Amino acid sequence: MPTEDKEHIGTATMRDDGTLVLNLRVEMGGGLGGGQKRYRRGDPHYDEVIEHIGGIEPGETKLVPRF
């Protein structure tokens, strides 16, 4: 993902088992880093994350807008 994209912070992919895998970038103090976060069904934030990215289906990858 291009670092000049200021509207999105990464990508979200839904696996076949429903697990959400977020690959996110973090920009702080002129530096750039990143990390991965996984949400499984039953996680208290699972539905909130799906709503934030505008819905997602198994096998789909979408951009994650800034929170």
Q: What's the confidence (pLDDT) of residue 28?
A: 74
Does residue 13 fall inside a structural domain?
yes
Does residue 20 fall inside a structural domain?
yes
Residue type, 57: E
Does residue 33 fall inside a structural domain?
yes
Q: What's the confidence (pLDDT) of residue 54?
A: 96
The tokens 């096998």 sit on which residue? 59
Residue 8 DSSP SS3: strand
Does residue 34 fall inside a structural domain?
yes
Does residue 1 fall inside a structural domain?
no
Number of domains in the chain: 1
Q: What's the confidence (pLDDT) of residue 4?
A: 63
Q: What's the confidence (pLDDT) of residue 14?
A: 98
Does residue 39 fall inside a structural domain?
yes
- Alpha-carbon distance values, 49 to 3, 15, 31, 52 (Å): 22, 14, 25, 5
Does residue 58 fall inside a structural domain?
yes
CA angle 39–43–44, rounded 5-degree value? 125
pLDDT tens digit at each of 67 positions of the chain: 445 677 899 999 999 999 999 999 887 777 888 999 999 999 999 999 999 999 999 999 999 999 8
Does residue 28 fall inside a structural domain?
yes
Range of the domain at 59: 8-65
pTM listed for this prediction: 0.83
